[in-house]
């Protein structure tokens, strides 16, 4: 269990580092044409384009998980939910 929590903490820390570095990534190769613009289905069943509808003009943390994963995936998802809640709270406080 300790290894799972350690991994989740490392992943959450990396996600926060990427969020903090987001503005400094402007003007790099991480934009249109680099990331695929494939059609995806979101959590509400709506069709979205990966780059143009989801990522363009935003800073994002994306976690790909297996819905049948019973090991680390639920912990990672829970940690990312905490990050999302914290960011939403901090944004509202400004």
User: What's the mean pLDDT in 19-33?
Assistant: 59
64 DSSP assignment: -
pLDDT, greater one: 1 or 80:
80
Q: What is the pLDDT of residues 42-84, one digit of tens each?
A: 888 999 998 999 888 888 877 777 778 888 888 888 998 998 8
Dist CA 86 CA 2 (whole Å):
23
Question: Cα–Cα distance between 75 and 72 in angstroms, integer?
Answer: 5
Mean pLDDT of 17-42: 68
Q: Report the pLDDT value the prediction gives residue 60, as an integer from 0 to 100.
A: 80
| pLDDT (average), residues 11-19 | 51
Grouping H, G, I as helix, E, B as strand and the rest as coil, residue 61 is: coil
CB 15 within 8 A of CB 83: yes
Angstrom distance (rounded) from CA 72 to CA 3: 9
């Amino acid at each position: 269990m300790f290894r799972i929590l350690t991994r989740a903490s490392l992943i959450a820390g990396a996600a926060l580092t990427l969020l903090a570095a987001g503005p400094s990534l402007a003007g790099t190769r991480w934009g249109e044409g680099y990331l695929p613009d494939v059609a995806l289905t979101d959590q509400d069943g709506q069709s979205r384009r990966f780059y143009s509808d989801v990522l363009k003009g935003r800073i994002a943390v994306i976690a790909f998980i297996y819905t049948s994963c019973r090991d680390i995936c639920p912990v990672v998802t829970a940690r990312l939910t905490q990050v999302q809640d914290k960011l939403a709270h901090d944004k509202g406080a400004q």
